[in-house]
Amino acid sequence: MHEYSLMQEVVKNLLAKLEEPGVATAGSKLEVTLKVGALAIHSAAATRQAYEVLVKGTKLEKSRLNLIVEPLILTCPNCGFSGPLPEGAVDPHEQLPLAPCPKCGAISPVAGSRGVESIELVLE
Protein backbone atom coordinates (compact mmCIF):
# COMPACT_ATOMS: atom_id res chain seq x y z
CA MET A 1 0.00 0.00 0.00
CA HIS A 2 2.88 2.36 0.77
CA GLU A 3 4.32 1.93 -2.73
CA TYR A 4 0.92 2.56 -4.28
CA SER A 5 0.43 5.92 -2.54
CA LEU A 6 3.99 6.97 -3.39
CA MET A 7 3.46 6.09 -7.05
CA GLN A 8 0.08 7.88 -7.10
CA GLU A 9 1.90 11.14 -6.34
CA VAL A 10 4.66 10.42 -8.85
CA VAL A 11 2.20 9.58 -11.66
CA LYS A 12 0.00 12.57 -10.80
CA ASN A 13 2.99 14.91 -11.09
CA LEU A 14 4.19 13.33 -14.33
CA LEU A 15 0.75 13.57 -15.94
CA ALA A 16 0.53 17.22 -14.90
CA LYS A 17 3.91 17.83 -16.54
CA LEU A 18 2.71 16.18 -19.76
CA GLU A 19 -0.31 18.54 -19.84
CA GLU A 20 1.85 21.68 -19.75
CA PRO A 21 1.80 23.84 -22.90
CA GLY A 22 4.50 22.94 -25.39
CA VAL A 23 4.97 19.34 -24.24
CA ALA A 24 4.24 17.16 -27.26
CA THR A 25 3.92 13.44 -26.54
CA ALA A 26 2.28 12.15 -29.74
CA GLY A 27 4.46 9.42 -31.22
CA SER A 28 7.05 9.84 -28.48
CA LYS A 29 8.58 7.05 -26.47
CA LEU A 30 8.41 7.99 -22.83
CA GLU A 31 10.95 6.91 -20.27
CA VAL A 32 10.61 7.68 -16.58
CA THR A 33 13.61 7.40 -14.29
CA LEU A 34 12.65 7.42 -10.64
CA LYS A 35 15.34 7.50 -7.96
CA VAL A 36 14.16 6.70 -4.43
CA GLY A 37 15.89 6.02 -1.16
CA ALA A 38 15.77 2.47 0.15
CA LEU A 39 13.67 3.57 3.11
CA ALA A 40 11.02 5.07 0.80
CA ILE A 41 9.75 1.71 -0.46
CA HIS A 42 9.34 -1.78 0.92
CA SER A 43 9.55 -3.61 -2.41
CA ALA A 44 10.86 -2.64 -5.83
CA ALA A 45 8.48 -5.17 -7.41
CA ALA A 46 5.45 -3.64 -5.66
CA THR A 47 6.58 -0.18 -6.75
CA ARG A 48 6.80 -1.28 -10.39
CA GLN A 49 3.42 -3.00 -10.17
CA ALA A 50 1.81 0.12 -8.71
CA TYR A 51 3.26 2.19 -11.56
CA GLU A 52 1.89 -0.22 -14.18
CA VAL A 53 -1.59 -0.13 -12.63
CA LEU A 54 -1.66 3.66 -12.27
CA VAL A 55 -0.51 4.49 -15.82
CA LYS A 56 -3.11 2.32 -17.58
CA GLY A 57 -5.30 4.47 -19.81
CA THR A 58 -3.05 7.54 -19.46
CA LYS A 59 -0.39 9.20 -21.62
CA LEU A 60 2.14 7.23 -19.60
CA GLU A 61 0.64 3.84 -20.43
CA LYS A 62 3.42 2.81 -22.81
CA SER A 63 6.19 4.48 -20.83
CA ARG A 64 9.12 2.59 -19.44
CA LEU A 65 9.98 2.91 -15.76
CA ASN A 66 13.61 2.82 -14.67
CA LEU A 67 13.55 2.44 -10.90
CA ILE A 68 16.75 3.24 -9.06
CA VAL A 69 16.77 2.42 -5.37
CA GLU A 70 19.55 4.21 -3.52
CA PRO A 71 21.02 1.77 -0.99
CA LEU A 72 21.14 2.17 2.75
CA ILE A 73 24.56 3.15 4.02
CA LEU A 74 25.89 1.82 7.31
CA THR A 75 28.71 3.68 9.05
CA CYS A 76 30.23 1.77 11.95
CA PRO A 77 31.66 3.90 14.73
CA ASN A 78 33.41 0.80 16.13
CA CYS A 79 35.59 -0.31 13.18
CA GLY A 80 35.14 2.54 10.67
CA PHE A 81 33.38 0.44 8.03
CA SER A 82 31.16 2.48 5.72
CA GLY A 83 29.21 0.86 2.94
CA PRO A 84 25.89 -0.15 1.44
CA LEU A 85 23.54 -2.70 2.95
CA PRO A 86 21.45 -5.17 0.96
CA GLU A 87 17.74 -4.60 0.35
CA GLY A 88 15.68 -5.66 3.35
CA ALA A 89 18.54 -5.25 5.84
CA VAL A 90 16.39 -3.01 8.05
CA ASP A 91 12.70 -2.41 8.57
CA PRO A 92 11.78 0.80 6.67
CA HIS A 93 9.18 1.58 9.36
CA GLU A 94 11.84 2.15 12.01
CA GLN A 95 12.43 5.82 12.78
CA LEU A 96 16.10 5.30 13.68
CA PRO A 97 17.18 2.15 11.82
CA LEU A 98 20.13 0.19 13.16
CA ALA A 99 21.88 -2.86 11.73
CA PRO A 100 24.85 -5.06 12.57
CA CYS A 101 28.08 -4.02 10.90
CA PRO A 102 29.02 -6.60 8.24
CA LYS A 103 32.68 -6.27 9.25
CA CYS A 104 32.68 -6.37 13.07
CA GLY A 105 29.04 -7.03 14.04
CA ALA A 106 28.60 -3.88 16.13
CA ILE A 107 25.11 -2.39 16.00
CA SER A 108 25.44 0.77 13.92
CA PRO A 109 23.23 3.55 12.54
CA VAL A 110 21.93 3.32 9.00
CA ALA A 111 21.48 6.29 6.70
CA GLY A 112 19.23 6.39 3.68
CA SER A 113 16.58 8.51 2.11
CA ARG A 114 12.91 8.04 2.93
CA GLY A 115 11.69 9.85 -0.14
CA VAL A 116 11.89 10.43 -3.85
CA GLU A 117 15.30 11.80 -4.73
CA SER A 118 14.59 12.60 -8.39
CA ILE A 119 12.12 12.03 -11.22
CA GLU A 120 13.24 12.35 -14.81
CA LEU A 121 10.89 12.20 -17.79
CA VAL A 122 12.50 11.70 -21.19
CA LEU A 123 10.57 12.00 -24.44
CA GLU A 124 12.29 10.34 -27.40
| pLDDT tens-digit map of 46-94 | 999 999 999 999 999 999 999 999 888 999 999 999 999 887 788 877 8
Q: Give the tens place of pLDDT for each residue, 95-113.
A: 888 999 999 999 998 987 7
Reported pTM: 0.80
Q: Structural domain boundaries of the chain?
A: 2-71+113-123, 72-110
Q: Which fold has domain 2-71+113-123?
A: hypothetical protein PF0899 fold (3.30.2320)
At residue 111, the 3 state secondary structure works out as strand
The helix or strand, by DSSP H or E, that contains position 5, with its residue range, turns out to be helix 2-18
C-alpha dihedral, 52 to 56 to 61 to 64, nearest 10°: 0
CA–CA dist 25, 21 (Å, integer): 11
Helices (H) and strands (E) in the chain, counts: 2, 7
Reported as half-sphere exposure (CB side, CA atoms, 13 A), residue 43 has a value of 9
